[in-house]
């Protein structure tokens, strides 16, 4: 594929959706853990977090964030297992975006669909 304005525009959209998706998930996690455990939540979950990573929450990479959410989902979150599965499938797409590799139209569509699913799911769990 040659680099052209259409490719650049598509990758800009993909990056934006991935960025928004990741940050919406981070914000949801922080909001829920603050609400359920208080502002000192990171210290309260350290004993569990060691099985995932020793990093601070804010420094987690996308795949680590998904592992974090998956690990704590039954305790503190109410995201569907289907959505978590869909999010984990985005890791290859995330890597292509991070390494400036053009996405196929199917990958772009997958990202967009999961992005919309996250928006819907977050609306559902905040009710």
Q: The pTM is what? A: 0.86
Closest among 19, 9, 32, 1 to 115, alpha carbons compared: 19
- Enumerate residues 6+ apart whose C-beta is below 8 A from 13: 108
Percent of the chain with pLDDT over 90: 59
Q: What total number of domains does the chain contain? A: 1
Q: Is the pLDDT of residue 127 over 80?
A: no
pLDDT of residue 114: 96
pLDDT tens sequence across 50-83: 666 678 888 899 999 998 999 888 888 889 999 9
CA dist., res. 65 & res. 52, Å (int)? 9
Domain of 96 in residue numbering reads as 5-125
């Amino acid at each position: 594929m040659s680099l052209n304005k259409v490719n650049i525009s598509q990758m800009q959209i993909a990056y934006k959706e991935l960025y928004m998706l990741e940050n919406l998930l981070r914000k949801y996690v922080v909001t829920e853990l603050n609400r359920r455990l208080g502002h000192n939540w990171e210290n309260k979950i350290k004993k569990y977090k060691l099985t995932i990573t020793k990093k601070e929450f804010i420094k987690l990479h996308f795949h680590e964030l998904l592992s974090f959410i998956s690990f704590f989902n039954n305790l503190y979150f109410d995201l569907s297992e289907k959505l978590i599965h869909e999010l984990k499938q985005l890791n290859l797409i995330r890597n292509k975006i991070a390494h400036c590799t053009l996405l196929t139209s199917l990958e772009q569509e997958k990202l967009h669909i999961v992005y919309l699913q996250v928006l819907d799911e977050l609306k559902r769990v905040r009710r």
